[in-house]
Amino acid sequence: MKISQIDKFFVSIEIVPPLRGHSIDQIYKVLDKILPFDPAFISVTKHPPEIEYYEIDGHILKLPKTKRPGTIGLVAAIKMKYNVNVVPHITCAGNSKFELEETLIDLDFLEIDNIFVVRGDKSKNVVKKDWQYDYAYQLVEQISNMNAGKYLYQNAKKTNFCIGVAGYPEKHFESPNILEDIKCLKKKIDSGAKFVITQMFFDENKYISFVKKLREQNINVPVIPGLKPITKFKSALKLPGKFYIDIPEKLLKQLSEAKTEKEEFLVGVKYMLRMIENLVDFGIPGIHFFTMSKTDAIVEILRNIQGC
């Protein structure tokens, strides 16, 4: 089912592929805990290859290596094992437009309905390909063209992908301000994107303000809040540096005052439940949880929101 057409409140989750050489069983363990709550879809992240150096036979070789390969294989495995709606991430980074077309053909063969498009990391270690897109809207355009039967080389069978893109309630860290960031998002929507999943945030008012600004710019697609409960004080200190987000002082104070790990856990769960209650009152289409392979807090939250 296309995500843009879901007409009732839903929950969904995001998982990351296992590290290179690790078992898919760890993913199944995560899903076995979440699937009883009937998520509308499961998204699978994609990681571009990065340059690493190896000494082989006395020579230093610069080789591309993906730390978490297997996104498409994982999508197929989950779809076959659980018969659920799976949404692969596709990145501009590390892929030429020709490689992307081949990936999209594979996904069409797998009867994948939804795709989540991201630019990907632009760090100096990420492999840069010839014919690689610099912006996510360019990949959205390519997929939209394939939906119209326009491939890179020829006109051919129409695909039928529903395209999702990322939104940033606190703006993307590279944007000078939130309005310029919204202009970039509008370009992705105008190119054919049909839904938005946001970066994580911990102040629901930032999401509400963000959505109101989008509506003012005539961006009317579903905007799904991306959430991740914080259940450790140490995590609250680390996340801003990695994801360029703010942690409200209230949450930070409550976590710092917790005496035990159990108290930290309960603080994080209660804080997220209060946020969700306010978001539901605002009228969100659903909730997307970033699991990062940790499910205890999400399971506890889902038990509490079954009636939403």
154 Cβ contact list (under 8 Å, min separation 6): none
Rounded to 5 degrees, φ, ψ at 265 are -60, -50
Strands 286-290 vs 10-15: parallel, antiparallel or unpaired: parallel
Find out whether 104 and 160 touch, Cβ atoms under 8 Å.
no
Distance CA 76, CA 107 (A): 9
47 Cβ contact list (under 8 Å, min separation 6): 16, 17, 66, 67, 68, 69, 71, 91
Average pLDDT rounded to a whole number, residues 141-170 = 97
Q: What is the pLDDT of residues 159-211, one digit of tens each?
A: 999 999 999 999 999 999 999 999 999 999 999 999 999 999 999 999 999 99
Confidence check: pLDDT of 308 > 50: no
Residue 36, exposed/middle/buried by CB under 10 A (0-12, 13-18, 19+)?
A: exposed
Strands 50-56 vs 59-65: parallel, antiparallel or unpaired: antiparallel
Strands 42-44 vs 286-290: parallel, antiparallel or unpaired: unpaired
Residue 285 DSSP one-character state: S
The domains of the chain, with CATH numbers, are 3-230+287-293 (3.20.20.220)
pLDDT band at 264 (very low <50, low <70, confident <90, very high): very high
> Going along the chain, which residue ranges are E strands?
10-15, 42-44, 50-56, 59-65, 86-91, 114-118, 162-167, 195-198, 223-224, 226-227, 286-290
DSSP helix/strand/coil, 230: coil
Other Cβ atoms closer than 10 A to 35: 15
Q: What is the pLDDT of residues 38-59, one digit of tens each?
A: 999 999 999 887 777 777 777 7
pTM for the structure as a whole? 0.94
Q: How many secondary structure helices (H) and strands (E) does the chain include?
A: 10, 11
Find out whether 79 and 88 touch, Cβ atoms under 8 Å.
no
Distance CA 228, CA 230 (A): 6
Q: Which pLDDT score, from 0 to 100, does residue 66 have?
A: 86
Confidence check: pLDDT of 307 > 60: no
